[in-house]
Structure 1
Amino acid sequence: MLDTRRPAVSVVVPARDAARHLPDALGSLRRQGPGGSDLGDDLEVIVVDDGSQDDTGRVLEDAAERLPGLRTVRHSVSRGVSAARNHGVREARGRWVTFLDPDDWFFPGHLSAMLAHAGTSDADFLVCDQVQARGTARRTVRAPEPRRHRVLDPRTGVMPTSRSTMVNYVQVSSRFLSRRVVDAGLARFDEDLPTAEDREWSWRLLLGTREYAVVDAPGYVYRRQVSGSLTDIGDSRQLGFLLAYDRVLDGVRSAGQTEFEPKVLRDTLAVLHHHVNRRSAYPDDVWDAMVARAQALVGRFDPAVVAAQTTAIGHQRAHAIRRQGVHL
């Protein structure tokens, strides 16, 4: 007889050539019950092997013996992290769904703590803090919302433009999504974005849900400075953030939420300035394309909004952007 009982939580792990770090990630999932115990049948782990060419398959075979809730889906060729996450979400049966990248891990008891918080409210999703790991060094990064353990309107996590807000806290593994959010399609990532899919998703999640809460929990560990990370590349994939913010702007306008347009522009300029500081990493053709696309996106905003946000980012940053050919 088919068992129709839903596990309490499904963890989706997109993995491509992840044999080096995947054992740490999967090992941490064995200690997610209270006090670092085993969550047992309450935990489902779905690893989507996205066309790996290394020993990822062997690592998953070994892990299956120690992690009974593990299921593996394989793509014969790589389809990208968004497609891998989306496939995992389609397979997920849990009442709550979250994500874990294969080079990160959860602290012991993290998922049981998130489940306990979920049981005290009717929030659409929860958000936790993160710990950034660089070698043996650890640094706690708190979600930029001081109101903890309170159900909040997600739209309050967007503004103001003058500081980092919840919409800028884009770490995918910090989100703990209810089944109704998953069934509404809000757990889906845009597969057309080569990078910055988390930025577009963060906006869509905040603007498409009713209630959320930021909670204190053991948290997840985000491993920094991983070799081959997309944050370090200098090719055309980095143009993805401009397409992402194009789509954010489309979504804001189609929903009649034009009051958020200054924030969309401010975030675009902030990321663009980051790339300006990395100009030497890009071939000229890639940089020319970035400037052209940035100019096209800036041109979509009302001139008064552009003038206000150009002033707000300060003379130095505005000057640096202008020097590269983007007219503000």
Structure 2
Amino acid sequence: MPASLSIVVPVYAVEGYLHQCLDSLHAGLTADERARVEVIAIDDASPDRCGQMLDDYAKTHPGVRVEHLSANVGLGLARNAGLAAATGDYVWFVDSDDWLPPGSVRAVLTALDDEKPDVLLIDHLRMQDGRPKTDTSSHLLAGEPTLERMLGVQHTAWNRIVGRQFLLRHGLRFGPGWYEDVSFSHPVLLAADRIAALNRVCYHYRIGRPGAITSTRSHRHFEAFEQYELLQEWMDEHRVDPAIRRRLFTLMTNHLLVVAGNDGRMHPGHRRRFFHRAAALHRRHRPAGYHPQSIKHRLVALDAYGLYALLRAGYRLAGLRTGNPERTRPVSPEAVSPSYRAQPASII
């Protein structure tokens, strides 16, 4: 029997992007394919016109359902609300400021029918000002979809389509706060018996949008540590293989260094404290047999912020001299968390 698909779209303050996202979800589908797809839009108490826009859209687009939350709960908990309302065999979490290129849903449905996986990973393009860029982890999707290989793919919710009963059976949900993908996307892969990869661009990820987490300086970037603590607890509980823990530990350190070095996210006055928090997390959870694989990793292990700051300044100076902006920040293959509208800390 062909698989059915629930597309969950949390919505908050994206009225300029919402129709592009929604229109892309059913574009080009046949009537039979449309019957296999439901769209569940979660109005996360959006302060703009998004709630009314969703209601108007649903009136003229069968298969689109709208749930209005009475209070803002943030991206992770809004996704959970969508999962609770979903009825499809699989669930795809799509962010409302992003969109799907033509043919994506059809390609996903075909892959789900052919592979019948617990988790299907897809490729994406990073879109900034209309310019597409391949993600540095995309090449991994072209190989055998082993667990260790797929752990290196950007850890987001929107690049993996997951079996709904699989999520319910394993109790996999999103936690509150920023960087909520960390404590969800890794356990999803670790718990899966069957992982498949679709080496096709099925998602356009908008970056650089004003108000997105990845473009916002905030103390809330420190919430990444809470999410990594949750991930460590999950791995302790499920006795994850030491080799896999070492792999994830390296990816975690990469990710925290990306956040620490990003001027768009980290206020200069917060950087030292963030680095020390990363070093403390590193000491607390360093797995047996782990050896730092780069100079920056060694500096985190030593909690040597002064040397890290000098190294970072060197990268920036080299970037200014060569005219290469990519040299002005630490570069890593580990990807960043998806965008979501920045919200006051008191809300979530």
Unaligned stretches of 5+ residues in structure 1? 159-164
Matches within 5 A, 1:1-328: 8-33=4-29, 39-141=33-135, 143-147=138-142, 152-158=145-151, 165-166=152-153, 169-185=154-170, 187-191=172-176, 194-257=177-240, 258-278=242-262, 281-282=266-267, 284=269, 286-287=270-271, 289-302=273-286, 305=289, 308-309=291-292, 312-314=293-295, 318=299, 322-324=304-306
Distance (whole Å) between structure 1 residues aligned to residue 130 and residue 261 of structure 2: 28
Unmatched tracts of structure 2, length 5 or more: 309-348
Q: How many residues align?
A: 304
By how many angstroms is 1:16 displaced?
0.8
What is the CA deviation profile of residues 207-266 of structure 1, one whole-angstrom value per residue up to 9, with x for unaligned ones?
111011111345111111111111122222101222222222222232222333323332
Q: Percent identity?
A: 24
Q: Which residue is 1:161 aligned to?
A: none
1:145 alignment partner AA:
L
SS in 2 for 1:138: strand
Specify the SS of the correspondent of 1:213. Answer: strand
Q: What residue is the counterpart of 2:317 in the other structure?
A: none
1:6 touches 1:95 (CA, 8 Å); kept in 2?
no
CA contact (8 A) 1:13 1:100 kept: yes
Q: How many angstroms apart in 2 are the aligned matches of 1:275 and 1:291?
A: 10
Kept in 2: contact 1:29–1:106 (CA 8 A): yes
The structural deviation recorded for 1:71 is: 0.7
TM-score w.r.t. the length of structure 2 is: 0.77
Cα distance 1:52–1:298, how it changes in 2: closer, same or farther (>3 A)? same
SS at match of 1:105: coil
Change (3 A) 1:143 1:38: farther
Is the 8 Å Cα contact of residues 291 and 325 (structure 1) preserved in structure 2? Answer: no
- Give 3-state SS (helix, strand or coil) of 1:184's partner: helix
**1:173-211 per-position Cα deviation (integer Å, ceiling 9, x unaligned):** 2111123323324552122xx222112212101111101
For normalisation by structure 1, the TM-score amounts to 0.82
Distance 2:244 2:227 in 1: 15
State the distance in 2 between where 1:260 and 1:75 align.
38
Report Cα offsets for 1:293-325 as digits up to 9, x if no partner. Answer: 32331221458756x21xx12269738962259
C-alpha change, 1:303 and 1:75, in structure 2 (3 Å) is closer
Name the CA distance, whole Å, in 1 between partners of 2:285 and 2:39: 43
Tell me the equivalent position of 2:324: none
CA distance in 2, matches of 1:33, 1:219: 14
Task: State how far apart, in whole Å, the 1-side matches of 2:3 and 2:296 are.
Answer: 53
What is the distance in 1 between the residues matched to 2:7 and 2:99?
A: 11
Question: What letter is aligned with 2:48?
Answer: D
Q: Deviations over 1:137-175 (max 9, x none)?
A: 112336342545x6x4535534xxxxxx13xx1132211
